[in-house]
């Protein structure tokens, strides 16, 4: 029988303002998302320190941090472990762990202490079907205005694909910059999708005059945006 007294906290949704909180981290106290105004942020949770899947993930994120920073994106991690556990774990990663050619990896982005689980609960990171004491592998993309733009959840057993997290970030930024959508498996340099025609006249004109766009049918049209154009709009170089 379900516990009817169990607290129910609604999970944030895409388009919502990112729930605000103050927290102690391995890089000092943060005020989220206010401290990150003007930047994209990936807020991600992991189940526990000193666990192998989480170790591989943190090493990968730290290895790619500069790449995310160049795309105007900051990284913020979270688990329900304490600050001293975080510090000891990150020190172990730097001093002892070599994985897939990565070694001497220093995690410089903040890792939130969330022993009370307040932040994890506020963001719906606790999934009773997985664990009552560990946060699942949640990923929240928050834009420069503090709005949640994408949410991805993984079970405890599944390590994340960090190339996909980066691809999703760049795709959302490209969509904002060029007022387009991106098709399946899109990468910078691939064709993008033009917004669907809003009237019969526009649809007819597109089908008859395909100069800058390519239409497969009236509702499905693409156009070319070069990799260089996307990088100019997205990357800080």
Residue ranges of the binding site: 137
Helix (H) / strand (E) containing 60: helix 52-70
DSSP-assigned letter for residue 185: T
Which residues touch 228 (CB under 8 Å, ≥6 apart)?
Answer: none
DSSP string, 69-121: HHTTEEEEEEESS-HHHHHHHHHHHHHH--BTTB-S----S-EEE-TT-HHHH
Binding-site sequence positions for substrate = 137
Helix, strand, coil percentages in the chain from 3-state DSSP, rounded to 5 = 30, 25, 45
Which residues form the catalytic set? 54
């Amino acid at each position: 029988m379900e516990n009817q007294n169990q607290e129910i906290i609604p999970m944030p949704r895409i388009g919502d303002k990112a729930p605000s909180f103050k927290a102690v981290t391995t890089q000092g106290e943060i005020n989220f998302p206010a401290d990150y105004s003007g930047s994209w942020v990936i807020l991600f949770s992991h189940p526990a320190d000193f666990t192998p899947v989480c170790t591989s993930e943190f090493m990968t994120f730290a290895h790619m941090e500069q790449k995310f920073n160049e795309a105007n994106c900051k990284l913020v991690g979270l688990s329900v472990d304490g600050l001293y556990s975080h510090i000891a774990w990150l020190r172990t990663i730097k001093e002892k762990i070599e994985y897939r050619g990565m070694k001497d990896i220093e995690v410089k982005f903040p890792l939130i202490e969330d022993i009370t689980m307040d932040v994890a609960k506020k963001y719906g990171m606790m999934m009773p079907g997985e664990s009552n004491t560990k946060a699942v592998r949640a990923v929240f993309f928050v834009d420069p205005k503090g709005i949640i733009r994408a949410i991805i959840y993984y079970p405890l057993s599944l390590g994340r694909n960090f190339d996909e997290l980066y691809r999703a970030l760049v795709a959302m930024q490209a969509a904002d910059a060029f007022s387009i959508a991106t098709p399946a498996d899109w990468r910078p340099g691939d064709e993008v999708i033009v917004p669907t025609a809003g009237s019969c006249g526009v649809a007819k004109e597109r089908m008859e005059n395909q100069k800058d766009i390519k239409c497969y049918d009236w509702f499905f049209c693409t156009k070319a945006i070069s990799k260089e154009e996307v990088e100019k709009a997205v990357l800080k170089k």
